[in-house]
Structure 1
């Protein structure tokens, strides 16, 4: 481990070594002792070097990019971190055993309020606080045995990273996608910064501080994500997206149906010129529109006096003509909008509106070729650059301004003569003044005059830097590409290094990020693709959405401020804040340092070791399911590890002490029957565990299957079978290999114990390399003649299940699958009303499923999906 300096920041880096696996490393040989925490810790120390390394530089192998969302370095890890990285590490190790070249990077989402607030609270500069926390959290990640590509490590507060965030901002600015505008914004009175609408909960409180949000009018920076809305909406139909399920519905609801277009009008009054963003589901109105209605709450009206408001008009960029503006709240404005363009001469409803408002109109109600005029209006808007892109009425542009110090500086200069001037690319990065003595006299950049004052790049006159910093969502909107080219000092990344490695094969993170972060990351990827910087638009192939680890939090009822547990006392059945007596709300929420409800995994690491901690967090509950944190599952996990330990001990003893030249009392027929049972159990567990590791990522179910194989190996198996059976040995070896992605240290020792037993009888097995460590093995596959499940579901109900040998099932096409099932009476009887649609899913060496939908069921299915989508929205 080394410390490297980049710019003015320090990053703790892991320096890769030229590690080479030993062909054989002996066991600690503690089998005569009962398994204890002390033994587990000795095992973890002994095998740590092997566990933290696997070959990942073989470019001949197909890559597998597994990416967990990177953490805020706000202190010690909590169990939510342990869960997401246990999941990603298990999947990475599984894919490694399947012969893939693993890309499994980690970094730090290091800017933002959590780090800044904590630094202020402790009176430490944010960069020092952040670097200290990175070191602490990194050490814990090592203790947990997570095998990350530490040579790819990045930190968003490193100037060599945020230089390229600023570069991308300038690209957005050049394309008219980054702009400055005045708006009514959400103000967090505790964190003293602006929040996007998405960062305010249903109760009008800040997503981070919990404070009641206030409204302010400020000039802010926005990114025009709405211009890509239709592409992002349609992209959700991409057949390459795997396991997005309800996330697609969440994204669709967020974007909204893109059933209208936007055109930017301009208001000119005296020396003032303001932009007015108009949305309409009837594009023809941008050609034939006769007046604009605007709500009295529209922020632009604050710019004008009462007399000016009564004489407002604007310019239609499509027709280059003036159009009158009427202020009224009598209009049923589109959702999320406070402007409306009316065409009373064509639209009967607008005719009624003009009569209601006593607005004169030019013509009587008439008719036009709506489709032709719509297409003409869209084309004109796009050709003139004033809009014309499809978007929903409710979707807003991305507000990125934050009035805080600890963030990526926006690379803009404000000049009295030249106006808004972008910082030249050659002058990037615009560095934060981390060594300025005034940094901690304020939490903003606006009062640090030595940094704020500068020269205009155009006229060389006196100017000022933009004092707002970017929302941290900007930093995390493109980091998945930087990991693949982390030390590039010429561009954000080389497109060639993305080819074959993207989209990210498996992206893992909390469901709470499945709307905002995912939407912003998708937008950024689409934009970068439009610039020719990436080979594809969609950034992530498969999503694994992780449920929350919930901890108990305490919040002052009156202010919404979170307080630590030690500041709370219980009086009768009421919780109050110590010292003030203020009522306190007690609830289960996502673990977070800012909510003082996180648990330091160090307790579990010290008491049980890292493998038990990883097993504990993954067992019983599938990754997508939330759980309230407790130690309730510990006894089952500890007992299973003890049984595995005893199994290896017994295996060694029986192989050492029993005469393996005969059956010693076990009849030949019984021996063959037991071997057949072991063969069947081994293949069944391999098929189901593989299915859940590879396809569903239901790791808890896979673990349950491995527990059942342990039961088979321990329940009433005669010593003679343990001593002589090839099938017992293969089943035990397969069990250890399949458990190794979850508990790599423990399984390394179990494997070494297996190898230490004399008289192995399955040395000729082509699937196992007996001279290598368990982490160098191949993932087991079912025997070719093992019968796998081939199911048919008609209208969602199970109608038939066949058993077909693995080698045959793997070659069945969708056409052949339908042909086979239409020979089964239980299927034929259910499809008499006709087949409307089929879907065939083949999971090689695991199972196959044919879905058949009839006319009647498809309609019911669509209605159900629509209802589910509405309820989730």
Structure 2
């Protein structure tokens, strides 16, 4: 369904926005999908804050304070995204191709062939209050579990868990350790011992797994070594098929059917059963920073975590301008926090109007986690009846990175500033004589390879910089920032030619009063028709590039092609053809979104008839109906050994057929002149732009 063109601006740091973030958190909390547990985090002992992995350098130091980062166990909030792993994986099939991101999402999620089951821990038969989720790659064998196994690095052994001391007493490094802690399976009702594994890692990110001796040689070895009992739950028949035994109401079911039945019932009982992979973790959302959105939960000494009532949202941070020092904490002023106004109810019709988002624009570094979390929340909201659509985004524009040149010492890996380097020789060296490695990396303050955009803008102008970025590469590709490359001179030449077109038209119109198309001769009329065709072709292609495939560099190439056509027009055409005027108007209007200042100046300088106001007030140009009725042709760029040699018009219906396009090019004047006597090794037809490249022997 076509949406209206209404625009909406959102500022995510304002309470009016994050009120709804907190509302969603409460919904997740009430659904059992938001929970707390201890987790290992990167701790900066100087700034007294948690750091993301990206804020820790290669030497394990904080990017800001320079302190050696510590690994510390802290209580953190998590969102149980693993419960939605299988639906998120399956839903990818219905989405359009996203620049390879669908495959990245699928790989991030992994094969969802197992699930978690929930257990309550006990010591001497008494509940400890600890709940543990353990992964099983074969959930249909859950009635055959003989023990629960955790890693030596598990939080239960190192955090503030009530069973910590019991587990530490039992732990024997280098061997499987049987403990006095037992785990009550909330699905089967069975109670099994907790074992500390001798292994340093399980598959993927797992730290807790089920031990089923009847289905695994390794689990069998552990059970025998610890003198544990187990139940056989699979019976193999002569034809190789297997059915369940000793599994209560699931006994007698084929193994595949039992898999579905057991996981479904576990989900219904809310004790696990959600299909996920061993490589996927739940989403850690805690932020130990003053500027983070407050989590709307009150920690009661007797009741435990209690969600803030929805009518009291948003929970805002206190305004404390004095807390500007490192490690400053707002906790001392918690009593000053104020209640907020009552929010409006969730408006379903507005959500359904705006979702799914037409275009999601994001960097490729966010192709898995950020995109995955956004998809998870929309799936959850659909299940809650808050929205009609399960997927939040339809189209995806993946931005590449603008990378800067980095210089680091080969021995230590320390990044250097440009002023710390001697560039006098062919190869740069550190001023202290150290050997330097030169690479291109994402711009970062810690790598000293960032660039102040204002400096480039002051040198070239904001429109030129914008055009350079758009022209340097398709949006999904990285750009190695070097304004001395061919892209910038090409952009500067194009801007100059646009200016020359307007100057040329002004000069021509000064020779006569008004255009008079009747004075044009046959050859000039044919030239005017060619301008008309190129104008319509450019409008169609540029509109597609702007709205469908986002190939802004290709859109600029098409505008440059129209510029070339207009530049070759005679003075009489400029004086008397409406086609030239209309084409120039369309050219300036289509340039405006990318270079608004330049386009406004060009528009103001054009002696265009019956056109008022600034270029930004004009409607987007449309293709003439007569052009749509004519045979559809594409202007194809012809390259020979990567060098442009001209263009050839080919029918749209064969424009993607390499053999047919090659034949038409060879039959054209360009082909006969430049390729007729040469041996063609290969012809490469671009799948995305109207271009064919002939590789020939020199």
Normalised by the length of structure 1, the TM-score is 0.62
Query: CA separation of 1:338/1:611 partners in 2, compared to 1, >3 Å: closer, same or farther?
Result: closer
Which residue in 1 is equivalent to 2:281?
A: 396
Which residue in 2 is equivalent to 1:5?
A: none
Question: C-alpha displacement at 1:568, in angstroms?
Answer: 6.7
- Stretch of structure 1 that moved more, 363-372 or 274-283: 363-372
Residue 490 (structure 2) pairs with residue 674 (structure 1)? no
1:173-223 per-residue CA deviation (whole Å, 9 max, x = no partner) reads 111111111223343567643356788799978799898754222221111
Task: Assess if the C-alpha contact under 8 Å between 1:293 and 1:328 holds in 2.
Answer: yes
Residue 109 (structure 2) pairs with residue 248 (structure 1)? no
Distance 2:50 2:416 in 1: 23
- Stretch of structure 1 that moved more, 548-557 or 723-732: 548-557
Q: Which has the greater radius of gyration?
A: 2
**Aligned partner of residue 380 in structure 1, secondary structure:** helix
Residue 658 of structure 2: which of 798, 812, 820 is its match? 798
Distance 1:363 1:637 in 2: 73
Task: Assess if the C-alpha contact under 8 Å between 2:114 and 2:135 holds in 1.
Answer: yes
Residue 478 of structure 2: which of 613, 626, 631 is its match? 626
Question: C-alpha displacement at 1:311, in angstroms?
Answer: 2.3
Query: CA separation of 1:642/1:210 partners in 2, compared to 1, >3 Å: closer, same or farther?
Result: farther
**Aligned partner of residue 236 in structure 1, secondary structure:** helix
Which residue in 1 is equivalent to 2:669?
A: none
Question: C-alpha displacement at 1:522, in angstroms?
Answer: 1.7
Distance 2:471 2:261 in 1: 59
Residue 703 of structure 1: which of 516, 537, 556 is its match? 556
**Aligned partner of residue 268 in structure 1, secondary structure:** strand
Residue 784 of structure 1: which of 615, 620, 628 is its match? 628
**Aligned partner of residue 784 in structure 1, secondary structure:** helix
Distance 1:195 1:441 in 2: 14
Which residue in 2 is equivalent to 1:429?
A: 314
Distance 1:653 1:570 in 2: 49
Task: Assess if the C-alpha contact under 8 Å between 1:793 and 1:799 holds in 2.
Answer: no
Which residue in 2 is equivalent to 1:289?
A: 145
Which residue in 2 is equivalent to 1:183?
A: 39
**Aligned partner of residue 692 in structure 1, secondary structure:** helix
Task: Assess if the C-alpha contact under 8 Å between 2:520 and 2:572 holds in 1.
Answer: no
1:59-88 per-residue CA deviation (whole Å, 9 max, x = no partner) reads xx9546xxxxxxxxxxxxxxxxxxxxxxxx
Distance 2:412 2:293 in 1: 30
1:36-67 per-residue CA deviation (whole Å, 9 max, x = no partner) reads xxxxxxxxxxxxxxxxxxxxxxxxx9546xxx
Which residue in 2 is equivalent to 1:645?
A: 499
1:417-453 per-residue CA deviation (whole Å, 9 max, x = no partner) reads 33223333344333323327456362445xx334289
Question: C-alpha displacement at 1:392, in angstroms?
Answer: 0.6
1:395-432 per-residue CA deviation (whole Å, 9 max, x = no partner) reads 11111222222212222333333322333334433332
Matches within 5 A, 1:521-540: 521-540=374-393
Gaps in structure 2 of 5+ consecutive residues? 159-163, 171-177, 237-243, 245-253, 634-650, 664-686, 691-698
Question: C-alpha displacement at 1:537, in angstroms?
Answer: 2.3
Task: Assess if the C-alpha contact under 8 Å between 2:509 and 2:574 holds in 1.
Answer: yes
Task: Assess if the C-alpha contact under 8 Å between 1:227 and 1:391 holds in 2.
Answer: yes
Distance 1:600 1:264 in 2: 52
- Stretch of structure 1 that moved more, 432-441 or 410-419: 432-441
Task: Assess if the C-alpha contact under 8 Å between 1:663 and 1:720 holds in 2.
Answer: no
Residue 348 (structure 2) pairs with residue 504 (structure 1)? no
Distance 2:270 2:581 in 1: 71
Matches within 5 A, 1:469-484: none
Greater relative CO (CA pairs within 8 A, separation 6+):
1
Which residue in 2 is equivalent to 1:816?
A: none
Gaps in structure 1 of 5+ consecutive residues? 1-60, 65-100, 106-151, 458-486, 761-768, 804-840, 848-873
Task: Assess if the C-alpha contact under 8 Å between 1:211 and 1:559 holds in 2.
Answer: no
Which residue in 2 is equivalent to 1:336?
A: 205
Query: CA separation of 1:349/1:634 partners in 2, compared to 1, >3 Å: closer, same or farther?
Result: closer
Residue 590 (structure 2) pairs with residue 590 (structure 1)? no
1:786-808 per-residue CA deviation (whole Å, 9 max, x = no partner) reads 332566799x96354699xxxxx
Which residue in 1 is equivalent to 2:266?
A: 381
Task: Assess if the C-alpha contact under 8 Å between 1:791 and 1:801 holds in 2.
Answer: no
1:303-362 per-residue CA deviation (whole Å, 9 max, x = no partner) reads 133555532321011121211233333698332213332333466775465446654435
Which residue in 1 is equivalent to 2:682?
A: none
Normalised by the length of structure 2, the TM-score is 0.76
Please, what is the CA RMSD of the aligned residues?
A: 4.1
Residue 584 (structure 2) pairs with residue 732 (structure 1)? yes
Residue 419 of structure 1: which of 304, 309, 324 is its match? 304
Distance 1:271 1:548 in 2: 52
Which residue in 2 is equivalent to 1:278?
A: 134
Which residue in 1 is equivalent to 2:602?
A: 750
- Stretch of structure 1 that moved more, 246-255 or 488-497: 488-497
Distance 1:500 1:713 in 2: 43
Distance 1:208 1:520 in 2: 28
Which residue in 2 is equivalent to 1:259?
A: 113
Matches within 5 A, 1:559-638: 565=418, 587-593=439-445, 595-632=447-484, 633-638=487-492
Question: C-alpha displacement at 1:296, in angstroms?
Answer: 2.9
Task: Assess if the C-alpha contact under 8 Å between 2:574 and 2:580 holds in 1.
Answer: yes
Query: CA separation of 1:537/1:707 partners in 2, compared to 1, >3 Å: closer, same or farther?
Result: same
**Aligned partner of residue 410 in structure 1, secondary structure:** coil
Query: CA separation of 1:286/1:541 partners in 2, compared to 1, >3 Å: closer, same or farther?
Result: same
Task: Assess if the C-alpha contact under 8 Å between 1:693 and 1:702 holds in 2.
Answer: yes
Which residue in 2 is equivalent to 1:774?
A: 615
**Aligned partner of residue 421 in structure 1, secondary structure:** strand
Distance 2:572 2:659 in 1: 43
Which residue in 1 is equivalent to 2:11?
A: 154
Question: C-alpha displacement at 1:569, in angstroms?
Answer: 7.1
Distance 1:571 1:711 in 2: 42
**Aligned partner of residue 301 in structure 1, secondary structure:** helix
Task: Assess if the C-alpha contact under 8 Å between 1:251 and 1:519 holds in 2.
Answer: yes
Question: C-alpha displacement at 1:258, in angstroms?
Answer: 1.1
- Stretch of structure 1 that moved more, 706-715 or 375-384: 375-384
Matches within 5 A, 1:222-371: 222-239=78-95, 241=96, 243-269=97-123, 270=126, 272-302=128-158, 303-305=164-166, 306-307=168-169, 310-329=179-198, 333-345=202-214, 350-351=219-220, 354-355=223-224, 358-362=227-231, 366-367=235-236, 368=244, 369-371=254-256
Distance 2:98 2:393 in 1: 10
**Aligned partner of residue 538 in structure 1, secondary structure:** coil
Question: C-alpha displacement at 1:283, in angstroms?
Answer: 1.4
Query: CA separation of 1:348/1:203 partners in 2, compared to 1, >3 Å: closer, same or farther?
Result: same
Which residue in 2 is equivalent to 1:478?
A: none
Question: C-alpha displacement at 1:391, in angstroms?
Answer: 0.7
